[in-house]
Amino acid sequence: MSIQFREELVNLTPYKPGRPIEDVKKEYGLEDVIKLASNENPLGCSSKAIDAIKNALDNLALYPDGNCTNLKEALSQKLNLSINQIILSCGSDEMMDLIAKTFFNKGDEVIMADVTFPRYISTTMMMGAKPVIVPLVDWTYDLDGMLSAITEKTKLIWLCNPNNPTGTMFTEERLVHFLNSVPKNIIVVYDEAYNEYVTREDYPKNSLPLLNKYSNIIILRTFSKIYGLASLRVGYTMASEEIIENINKVRGPFNVNTLAQVAAIAALEDEEFIKKSYDVNLQGKEYLYEEFQKMNLQFAPSEANHIFVNVKRNGGEVFIDLQKRGVIIRPMVGDWIRVSIGTMEQNKIFIDKLKEVLHK
């Protein structure tokens, strides 16, 4: 007799993360490798976060505060929200899982874009819900197409703004129109992992007041991107008290560790580090745009910390050729790759190697 796994797993594949630097160094015998593959902060994190971790190292034998009380308080003050509207998770990744466990019944329809963050489809399928895919138009969310895809069976809609991997955004006006058009029994998950990088004025810079108007919205943010704490795994989510209460029923009791909690509190306070990260990203973006234009490469306009660019050659091949030269990026669909914006030094190395690989 053979082991029977849940039927929902048949069509799932494990998540493929960006390749670790050490791995690539070993495979190609390289001394210097840069990773521009996972949208990490090239400046690292706030030194205040590191100090906070050092000060917490005496407490490793104790379970963390399962309620993340201090971090919730810090967030509640900063965001001007009630503590009961906030919940913490082991990265936003875990929150996508918890949302799926909270809402999806077998056969529910769940609307999402393509291409977008791959965890939306995997958590949906994991629960036996049915993904309904609405392709991007000009590499941007087709919100009207998503509205047209709503049926009686629709349970939830995943939105990512700016979108990963394309870096494109939709405006506040479009978002509000969308929320006004979605029936109130359908959950809208609004993933803002890159919101701190956005430069455009018509972006919904402060989405939190939407919580008062729309009881069906769940807003996701993370400490993994501009805060530079990806390794610690901590994300924060805002929604109605009723939704938070129900997500708490499926959450593990100690899902955010102590070091992550203290570092996140310290990171929140270091506005100077955030400003610097924003500036470095913006300069890097302008440099990369210029170089892509000189090389005649098409790219999607990015409001995030990564650029989706067409290298006019198979992305998988370019990925391998760049890797051999010590630069890790992400191959996407067809001739498209995604490159994370690094420090200016890293960006220049990337462009040099890309020119080599593309014979420019």
Ligand X SMILES: *Cc1c(COP(=O)(O)O)cnc(C)c1O
Work out whether 329 is an interface residue with ligand X (CB under 6 A): no
Strand 235-238 and strand 86-89: the pairing is antiparallel
| Among 172, 191, 196, 335, contact with ligand X (rule: CB under 6 A) | 191
Report, in Å, the least distance between residue 225 CB and ligand X. Answer: 6
Phi, psi of 135 (to 5 degrees): -60, 150
- Nearest residue to ligand X on Cβ basis: 91
Q: Is the dihedral of CA 307, 313, 317, 320 positive or negative?
A: negative
- Based on CB atoms, which residue is closest to ligand X, 205 or 294? 205
Of the ranges 51-59, 220-228, 284-292, 340-348, which one interacts with ligand X (CB under 6 A)? 220-228
Taking the least distance from each CB to ligand X, the nearer of 44 and 107 is: 44
Q: Is 222 in the site for ligand X (CB under 6 A)?
A: yes
**CB-wise, 91 or 342, nearer to ligand X?**
91
Give whichever of 230 and 295 is closer to ligand X, judged by the CB atom: 230
Residue number, 193 or 351, with CB nearest to ligand X: 193
- Residues 159-178 binding ligand X (CB under 6 A) are 160, 164
Provide, rounded to whole angstroms, the least separation between the CB of residue 76 and ligand X.
19
Kindly tell me which residue out of 230, 282, 295, 358 binds ligand X, with binding defined by CB under 6 A: 230
List Cβ neighbours of 222 (8 Å cut-off, separation of 6 or more). 91, 92, 193, 234, 235, 236
What minimum distance in Å lies between the beta carbon of 190 and ligand X? 11
Contacts with ligand X in 65-104 (CB under 6 A)? 91-93
Q: CB–CB of 230/38 below 8 Å? A: yes
Omega within 30 of 0 (cis) for the link into 115: yes
Q: Which stretch binds ligand X (CB under 6 A): 219-227, 265-273, 312-320, 350-358?
A: 219-227
For the chain, counts of helices (H) and of strands (E): 13, 12
Q: How far is the CB of 46 from ligand X (least distance, A)?
A: 17
Looking up tokens 């050659």 gives 313
Minimal distance, residue 119 CB to ligand X, in Å: 7
Shortest Cβ distance from residue 359 to ligand X (Å)?
32
Instruction: Give the largest CA-CA distance in the chain.
Output: 62
Minimum CB distance to ligand X, residue 92 (Å): 4
* Helix boundaries (H) for the chain: 21-28, 47-56, 69-79, 91-103, 119-126, 143-148, 172-181, 210-213, 241-250, 258-269, 271-294, 315-324, 344-358
Which is nearer to ligand X, 238 or 351 (by Cβ)?
Answer: 238
CA distances from 167 to 163, 199, 283, 340 (A): 5, 12, 16, 10
Residue 118 preceded by cis peptide, ω within 30: no
Q: Does 347 bind ligand X (CB under 6 A)?
A: no
Q: Which range, of 180-188, 218-226, 283-291, 317-325, touches ligand X by CB under 6 A?
A: 218-226
CA angle 79, 85, 91 (to 5 degrees): 80
CA 61/CA 138 separation, integer angstroms: 51
Site string for ligand X, 27-46 (x = CB under 6 A): ------------x-------
Which residues would be at the binding site for ligand X (CB under 6 A)?
39, 91-93, 117, 160, 164, 191, 193, 222, 224-225, 230, 235
